[in-house]
Structure 1
């Protein structure tokens, strides 16, 4: 796609970029841990770099992300995920996703999250704070989605697991004072 301007006029920048250090309202609502079934299909890409300099990616759904406040994000990851190991080593990750017609990229400072009782899932719980973040959009194209998915087969079991994971993330965030 290209940006066309009237001849002789100064073209406006097609890129709109905003920098933030607190979750915008639309993002906070997405990561509030509620109404997971209605948010089904949303996918965020969690990127990290391992000690060999390789980028590792984990794709996460809304049942694995919870924002307990305006500057924090709790994550639930499988311990065998390469991204989980890379984050444990570096304490850093980047989360990218599409929300409210914009592309978001958020740099996170990440630490382990304790305080989950009664959890036998084997998941690793982490808490990240926003280091730097921006959202980008262009006036000539509206982002409608990023990576999306559809659950097959045991979808209701996955949704039930996500509900439990969010409850565990809420419990751990509360124990951490968030």
Structure 2
């Protein structure tokens, strides 16, 4: 192969959009949403996108203490019950979760349903993955998406997240057992 052919092939690879689709969480994402090591995952933010009855698109930002994957095909979500997202999910049962992770942009289409939970302060939902997609390009690396930093009460937030994940796990486990 000549230098110009090699250079052209390399240039074409760099411009190509790499797309991967999935219907189950890849292992790295299962670990991201496994409900453990929440302090190490602080700063990660996912965008939950819903469409209300009037057709308006709504976005809610969620952190690692509000997302839990009980298995490879599902995702549990904790929301404030008065939030628009909780109201929309109770009616439409459809959502997309978008986020940046491992230098890729992810979009996951979910079919949601409410979860019964003892904790009345939050609304819990569980979603099945309809389809997921990861996108990367060779000429640029995604180094972050929306991220956050907690303030002085970070210990209290982390404790709340630990409790929420525990509640999500119990509710998701009960739903998976059929109870």
Counterpart-to-counterpart distance in 2, 1:64 and 1:39: 12
Superposition CA RMSD, Å: 1.7
How many aligned residue pairs are there?
Answer: 171
Counterpart-to-counterpart distance in 2, 1:9 and 1:171: 50
Give the aligned partner of residue 3 of structure 2: none
Give the aligned partner of residue 163 of structure 2: 164
Give the aligned partner of residue 86 of structure 2: 84
Q: Which runs of 5+ in 2 are unaligned?
A: 1-5
Instruction: Give 1:144 deviation, angstroms.
Output: 1.6
Instruction: Give 1:6 deviation, angstroms.
Output: 3.8
Runs of 4+ in 1 over 6 A off after TM superposition: none
Q: TM-score, normalised by structure 2?
A: 0.90
Q: In proportion to residue count, which structure has more helix?
A: 2
Q: Which runs of 5+ in 1 are unaligned?
A: none
Q: TM-score, normalised by structure 1?
A: 0.91
Q: Which SS does the other structure have where 1:153 is aligned?
A: coil
Instruction: Give 1:139 deviation, angstroms.
Output: 1.2
Give the aligned partner of residue 142 of structure 1: 141
Q: Which SS does the other structure have where 2:176 is aligned?
A: coil
Distance 1:7 1:33, change over 3 A: closer
